[in-house]
């Protein structure tokens, strides 16, 4: 589960970086921050990603927060794929 926080921007920076799509965007007066239910893994979200909706953001955030498979595990998965897959 994810949570949104809306905060006033208190800096003069006019660029933000989205934690979901990693694109730069023009910063406005307020910023939207997404974090997990523990209040960790937080980051700012751009207007384009916000427009995709809560469900889409939650799916992307969960995918990005998942631990990466080990190199050995990834190699094993590759070896099991049939040729042409």
Q: Measured between alpha carbons, how far is 74 from 56 in angstroms, rounded to an integer? A: 26
Q: What is the pLDDT along the chain (85 residues), one digit of tens a residue?
A: 889 999 998 777 788 899 999 999 998 888 999 988 887 778 999 999 999 999 999 999 888 777 656 544 444 444 455 555 4
Q: What is the pLDDT of residue 51?
A: 96
pTM to 2 decimals?
0.68
Please state whether 4 falls in left (phi above 0), alpha (psi between -120 and 50) or beta: beta
Q: What is the pLDDT of residue 12?
A: 72
Q: What is the pLDDT of residue 78?
A: 47
3-state SS track over 8-30: ECCCCCCEEECCCCCCEEECCCE
Q: Measured between alpha carbons, how far is 59 from 66 in angstroms, rounded to an integer? A: 11
Q: What is the pLDDT of residue 61?
A: 83
Residues 6+ away with beta carbon under 8 Å from 60: 20, 21, 49
């Amino acid at each position: 589960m994810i949570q949104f926080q809306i905060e006033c921007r208190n800096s003069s920076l006019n660029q933000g970086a989205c934690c979901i799509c990693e694109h730069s965007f023009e910063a406005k007066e307020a910023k939207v921050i997404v974090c997990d239910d523990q209040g960790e893994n937080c980051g700012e979200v751009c207007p384009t990603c916000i427009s995709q909706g809560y469900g889409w953001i939650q799916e992307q955030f969960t995918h990005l927060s998942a631990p990466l498979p080990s190199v050995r595990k990834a190699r094993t998965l590759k070896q099991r794929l049939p040729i042409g897959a």
